[in-house]
Chain A
Amino acid sequence: MNYTLMFYESQADFAARKDPERQEAYLAGWTHYVHALRESGIVVFGSGLYAPETAATLKRRGGDMHVQDGPFPETKEQLGGIFVIDVPDMDAALEWAARGPVDTVEVRQNIPALK
């Protein structure tokens, strides 16, 4: 069963990506986690995302299309990356989520591909 782990990061986390003093520690946290995930053989897909201010959000209002800078929605913590993992159940997915180097992880089951 595939589950998506969505890793939410604070502004401080996003800042740490570029801060020369914190960058190494920030990246190390991910390196080890990704290492453990890959060695476990459960990774279907995984990718980090650039910071929310680089995003563009498209909204259709009525018949009109609006494009705005920034993420949807504007919250303190923003999506920083995702992993899709193949594990037996939600319990196992949550166990992996707990090991992530961030404080907030949302876990959802993927809808299987339509046949």
Chain B
Amino acid sequence: MESHRIVEQTAREAYGRLLSYLTVHWRNPQDVEDALGDAFLSALQTWSKTGIPEKTEAWLLTIARRRLIDRARRSRVSAEALPTLLAMSGEAGHPSAPSGAELPDERLAMMLLCAHPAIEPAMRTPLMLQTVLGMDAARIASAFIVKPSTMGQRLTRVKAKIRAERLTFEPADAEEIPGRLDSVLEAVYAAYGSGWDEVAAVGSPGGSWAGGGLAEEAIELARLLLRFVPAEPEVHGVLALMLHCEARRAARRDREGNYVPLSEQDCARWDPGLIAEAERCLHAASQAGRIGRFQLMAAIQSVHAQRLRTGRTEWEAIAQLYEGLIRVQPTLGAFVSRAAAVAEAYGADRGMALLASIPSAEVANYQPYWALAGHLYKRMHRHDEAKSAYSRAIGLSAEGAVRQFLSRQLDGL
């Protein structure tokens, strides 16, 4: 039983490291995954008899490499890659003989590979979660509300594409890193849950945020990224953004489990430790003097966090930051959130005018738009329109607590 536990622990900690290292050199993620699976299985069987080896990672690596070499010798297709594998296997030793050197950490290369331009954007986050964090396809599928077998097939296809098109991240492409890094950050933030920035909008809960089950994983990925590229301001920015949102997790529900929008949250329930860490990240980001969308989004959250000290929200500042964000990244979320901030700072009419300027085809199924529209119509005493907008927002919400919150707003009309 003890060995089961060690294998599990090693699996969690080392899976991403081992998979990244082997994939970066072997370029066939599916084979590497299978070989690693064999290695973990073999560990389970062997360690219960022989005891746990001193260097578990090296042990697993040796077995996995041996499987890959066996496989390569059998198949002509990958035979050309054999010399690479043999070279990287170094001493190609006995499973019990740990390799002397520390395993190079190739997880940055793996993350960059996951965000390769040839890989469709929607699959970058799932691929990263599976390869770097070892998350299984079923859990990824649930987090993204996709049929599990479909998610499994898509992951398999993407891995086949990496092999077939020999996608890789070569160190020679070092100057490409900042551009590719942006795609990595987007994928990391997508894991966090795209609704968080809309939650900032007053009275307009983010509907696309379905529980945030992958928040911890996303933060883990951002922290990992920071170790590799500590000088990149946007990496600090994305981490600051997520930590600010995370600091409010407890305050998003009251004691009875009801949803509480940001503007009505009890700041005493925010996590000051996480806020302080987020602020340090944002400060570190500002040192580079290079603004970006994640820093802007983090700065907006930082203004909200200041309510803890000042007791009020500087909506003018938030509206201005959204203005900047729209210039960098004109997303639907940013437009709706700007309208919310402008409504708070300068009145519901001006917020409504901005909201009305968004093309209606784009917002048909966008919950935050309808929640905000309901809120603003209510403030403008246009009750029939408010009722219709709230009703639509409720119908588009996937979270029960958010539906109830909006229903209470509707009942209050």
Contacts and interface: CB of A to CB of B under 8 A. Distances in A.
Q: Do chains A and B stick together as partners?
A: yes
Nearest to B397: A99
Given A29-B403, A98-B210, A98-B398, A39 B146 contact: no
A94 B394 CA distance: 17
B146 to A, nearest CB: 6
Contacts of A36: 365, 391-392, 394-396
B366 to A, nearest CB: 11
A59 interface: no
7 contacts: A31-B391, A35-B391, A35-B392, A35-B395, A91-B145, A94-B145, A99-B398
B358 interface: no
Contacts of A98: 145, 210, 398
A22 interface: no
B396 A99 contact: yes
Contacts of B150: 90-91
Interface in B377-395: 388, 391-392, 394-395
A82 interface: no
A67 to B, nearest CB: 36
Contacts of B147: 90-91, 94
A47 B397 CA distance: 21
Given A39-B364, A101-B403, A32 B395 contact: yes
Interface of A: 25, 28-29, 31-37, 39-41, 90-91, 94-95, 98-99, 101
B231 to A, nearest CB: 38
Contacts of B394: 29, 32-33, 36
Given A40-B365, A98-B210, A99-B396, A32 B146 contact: no
B407 interface: yes
B407 A40 contact: no
A107 B365 CA distance: 19
Given A28-B407, A94-B145, 15 more contacts: A29-B394, A32-B395, A35-B392, A36-B391, A36-B396, A39-B364, A40-B364, A90-B146, A90-B150, A91-B147, A91-B150, A98-B145, A98-B398, A99-B397, A101-B403
Closest 8 CB pairs of A and B: A36-B395, A32-B394, A32-B395, A98-B398, A33-B395, A32-B391, A35-B391, A36-B396
A26 to B, nearest CB: 12
Nearest to A96: B365
Given A28-B407, A101-B403, A37 B395 contact: yes
A99 B395 contact: yes
Interface of B: 145-147, 150, 210, 364-365, 388, 391-392, 394-398, 403, 407
Contact of B146 (A37, A40, A94): A94
Contacts of B145: 91, 94-95, 98
A94 B184 CA distance: 27
A6 B392 CA distance: 21
Nearest to A33: B395
A91 B210 contact: no
Contacts of A99: 395-398
A112 B17 CA distance: 47
A30 B388 CA distance: 14
Nearest to A93: B147
A91 B407 contact: no
Nearest to B208: A95
B285 to A, nearest CB: 34
A37 B365 CA distance: 9
Nearest to B407: A28
B258 to A, nearest CB: 14
A95 B391 CA distance: 18
Nearest to B390: A32
B373 to A, nearest CB: 12
A77 B296 CA distance: 47
Contact of B392 (A28, A32, A91, A95): A32
A62 to B, nearest CB: 37
A4 B69 CA distance: 48
A91 B395 contact: no
A35 B406 CA distance: 15
A101 B403 CA distance: 9
A95 B398 CA distance: 8
Nearest to A24: B411
Contacts of A91: 145-147, 150
B145 to A, nearest CB: 5
B157 to A, nearest CB: 15
A98 B150 CA distance: 17
Contact of A34 (B364, B365, B395, B397): B395
